[in-house]
Homo-oligomer: A and B are copies of this chain.
Amino acid sequence: MTSGRVFDLGSSTVTEAEIIDFATRYDPQPFHVDPAAAADSIYGGLIASGWHTCAMFMRLMCDGLLSQSSSMGSPGMDEIRWPNPVRPGDTLTGSAEVAEARRSASKPDRGIVRLVSRMHNQHGDPVLTMIGTGFYACRDS
């Protein structure tokens, strides 16, 4: 993975049922689980949990990049932003840009990659940006 390289991660469409199912388990705030209450909220309708938005991005990341890689997990994420809500029926498209790639000094069998991740909806509005770090096994170790 070379700095500046951008991986297109494809698209996925989310249904109202998926939004409610995720939020019922993990984030049961009214504007995530109750369409009527959501319509009366500042959001004017049901929106996905931000954690669901992250999880949907992760699925694109797995299918579009990690399944062909030697991913060894991640120590964390920085600067997660949800600039616009995700709504039922939205089609979300993801990308990941390599910000930095280097070999670990302490564990030279693995590389450390910083990715700037982005996801937008069918209108081109950004719904997720974040900076994350991942570990990958090096091919030559």
In the complex, the answer to whether B26 meets A73 with C-beta atoms within 8 Å is: no
Contact A29 B62 (CB under 8 A): yes
Beta-carbon contact of A76 and B82 below 8 Å: yes
CB distance from A64 to the nearest CB of B (A): 12
Kindly specify which of A1-9, A42-50, A90-98 makes contact with the partner chain: A42-50
Q: Which of B28, B49, B72, B74 contacts A50 (CB 8 A)?
A: B74
Q: Given A51-B51, A58-B27, A80 and B76 touching (CB < 8 A)?
A: yes
Question: In whole Å, how far is A75's beta carbon from the nearest beta carbon of chain B?
Answer: 6
Q: B72 to A42, Cβ gap below 8 A?
A: yes
* Copies of this protein, total: 2
A75 to B85 Cα, complex, angstroms: 10
Pairwise interchain contact A25-B59, C-beta atoms closer than 8 A: yes
For the complex, give the distance between the alpha carbons of A54 and B49 in Å.
12
A-B contact pairs, 29 of them (CB 8 A): A22-B55, A25-B59, A27-B55, A27-B58, A27-B62, A28-B59, A28-B62, A28-B67, A29-B62, A31-B73, A41-B72, A47-B73, A49-B55, A50-B73, A50-B74, A51-B51, A51-B54, A51-B55, A54-B54, A74-B82, A75-B81, A75-B82, A75-B83, A76-B80, A76-B82, A77-B77, A78-B78, A78-B79, A78-B80
